[in-house]
Amino acid sequence: MAFFCYFCRMSTFLFNSIIFGPLWSRRLGESLGVNLLPLNRKTCNFSCIYCECGLTPALKSKPDFPPRQLVLEQLRNKLSRMKEESRYLNSITFAGNGEPTLHPEFPEIVDSSISLRDEFFPESKVAVLSNATMIGNDRIFNALLKADVSIMKLDSANEDTLRKINCPRGSFNLSRIIDRLCEFNGKVTIQTLFFRGIYRNSAVDNTTRREVEDWLKAIRKIRPENVMIYSIARDTAVPGLEKADPEKLYAIARKVEKLGIQTQVNP
């Protein structure tokens, strides 16, 4: 998928179910995954070169999104069973085979999922992992505001670098996305993967001094509640990419913390 997958275990991994887990996440604890994307293909408007689920295939037909009622029925059944078994749950997390906000009924599903959370596990959180490309849509933006944790990807504050890393499909304007991220008024988490490598005979490196300085300017402007910093952990869609040195990740984190923003590092 186009954003870091908490649950992937191998390259070109695809989820074959709508509800998966719960699985342990260092960021979200015991997390029950909700996949709103087709089960037979990755569906995303990014094609990140580091994605553990492979590059995004060309869209040849309208995606077969799972129906809203089916998603909610399966979620209710899973939460009910977990409750009966006295299981523990930290979060219900929208992730899966691509960008969850692409589902045409994403806002309605979020609303109903919050209701189900309140019914079965009121102390847990509803979280969304997103590449932030759809936040210009007011319906999507307002749905993300309702989530307890909205984790938005920002791998670079320079559009040329971001295009090399994330390979966005269709219309894309980084400055507009950053401006919209500011409108969360702090109720957002920014997630960034730092790495370097070669792609199509061109160097890709978002760990350089200039890249980090520009990224910090964007973080200072957005003022997120939290920043998640990490690097490559498993196989990538494009071979030959190198993970960032842990010392560099912690150095970047210290600069974020000087801005008064809580930071998590997963080297």
Q: With CA atoms as reference, report the closest residue to 23 among 12, 31, 15.
A: 31
User: Each residue of 164-177: b (16+ CB within 10 Å) or e?
Assistant: bbbbbeeebebeeb
CATH number of 19-266: 3.20.20.70
DSSP tag of 206:
S
CB 249 within 8 A of CB 231: yes
Examine the pLDDT at 12 and tell me if it is beyond 90: no
Instruction: Quote the CA–CA distance of 10 and 2 in Å, as a whole number.
Output: 15
Instruction: Quote the CA–CA distance of 267 and 230 in Å, as a whole number.
Output: 5
Residue type, 119: E
In the sheet with 226-230, reading across from the earlier edge strand, the strands are: 19-25, 29-35, 91-95, 125-130, 149-153, 189-193, 226-230, 262-266
Q: What is the pLDDT of residue 39?
A: 87
Q: What's the pLDDT tens digit per position in 102-161?
A: 999 999 999 999 999 999 999 999 999 999 999 999 999 999 999 999 999 999 999 999
- pTM given for the model: 0.91
Instruction: Quote the CA–CA distance of 191 and 145 in Å, as a whole number.
Output: 17
Would you kindly state where each structural domain of the chain is located, as residue ranges? Answer: 19-266
CB 86 within 8 A of CB 65: no
Q: What's the pLDDT tens digit per position in 166-207?
A: 999 888 999 999 999 999 999 999 999 999 999 988 999 999
* Bridge partners for 243 per DSSP: 195
Using the Cα atoms of residue 22, residue 153, residue 151 and residue 262 in order, give the sign of their dihedral.
positive
